[in-house]
Structure 1
Amino acid sequence: MMWQDFIFMIGSSLSIVFLAPTLRDTDAQVPLATSAPSMIIGGVYAFTFATLGMTFSAAGALAACFMWTLISFFRAPRSPYNQSHAVGSFRDRFELFCLDAQYWVDRKRHRNSIPLDSYVSADTTSSIASQAE
């Protein structure tokens, strides 16, 4: 048994401890741009550690991957495509996850086609500032 196996397992366990409050916080919103890559990386690490015979490290990385999966399912912010979508059952959450993932991929693929209503015009900003005075 290699001592490095335990070190990697401890690191993964700490990440699970640090991610738990995010999963418990119902107001938390973690973008898919953060949770999806972390989920994939955790899965790749788990596979890599398993092929190296580092069982504890693989289990820890798989657990971290699972935590990121839960965060991406339950704490992703709603995209403009699904603002009115009511979330209840696991199936609803899975459909919401798929819609958010599709929206995220579309935005990454078409960076120049960001809707204009996503930005505040300079005129609006100056009028808000003058109203505050």
Structure 2
Amino acid sequence: MMWQDLVFMTGSSLSIVFLAPTLRDADARVPLGTSLPSMAIGLVYGMTFATLGMTFSALGAFAAGSMWSLIAVCRSPTDATTLTRRDGLRLFGHDLRRWVDRRLPEATPTDYF
């Protein structure tokens, strides 16, 4: 075992210990903008460590990513479970339409002559 593997595993274990109170607190609210990127980073780090042969680091990173996914599901301020794919596409289309409307310049009659 490399010493770096032990260091990364220790860091991941500490993050799990520090995140546990957030998961246990029923009143805690963690925005999805915080929890989802942290979850993704943990899982990507886990995959990366696994490909480098750093088994303990990979397990620790996967555990931290899993903890963040539980926080995203259980402690997000919105009810993320009710948002369907159709709603997500509808909201995306609405936002895109607003963005395009703001970007298009107002045409005046002098522009056509």
TM-score for the superposition, normalised by structure 1? 0.62
Alpha-carbon spacing, 1:68–1:96, altered in 2? closer, same or farther (3 Å): farther
Structure 2 counterpart of 1:55, one-letter code: T
- TM superposition shift of 1:10: 0.2
CA distance in 1, matches of 2:9, 2:82: 32
Distance in 2 (CA, whole Å) between partners of 1:28 and 1:97 is: 21
Conserved? CA contact 1:73–1:97, under 8 Å: no
Q: 1:1-133, aligned counterparts within 5 Å? A: 1-78=1-78, 95-96=81-82, 102=88, 106=92
Deviation, 1:98, is: 5.8
Greater than 6 Å deviation, 4+ residue runs: none
Q: What residue identity is the alignment partner of 1:33?
A: G
Q: C-alpha deviations, 1:82-102, integer Å up to 9, x for none?
A: 5xxxxxxxxxx7x34768xx4
Question: SS of the counterpart of 2:29?
Answer: coil
Q: Which amino acid aligns with 1:65?
A: G
Q: Percent identity?
A: 61
Coordinate RMSD, CA, aligned: 2.4
For the Cα contact (< 8 Å) 1:40–1:65, is it kept in 2? yes
Offset of 1:19 from its aligned partner?
0.2
Contact 1:22 1:71 in 2 (8 A): yes
Deviations 1:98-122 (A, max 9, x none): 68xx49x84xx66x77xxxxxxxxx
> TM-score, structure 2 length as denominator?
0.73
Q: Shift of residue 5 of structure 1?
A: 0.1
Structure 1 runs not aligned, ≥5 long: 83-92, 114-133
List runs of 5+ in structure 2 lacking aligned partners. Answer: 100-113
Tell me the distance in 2 between the aligned counterparts of 1:4 and 1:24: 31
User: For residues 37 and 73 of structure 1, what CA distance do their matches in structure 2 show?
Assistant: 13
**Larger CA Rg, structure 1 vs 2:** 2
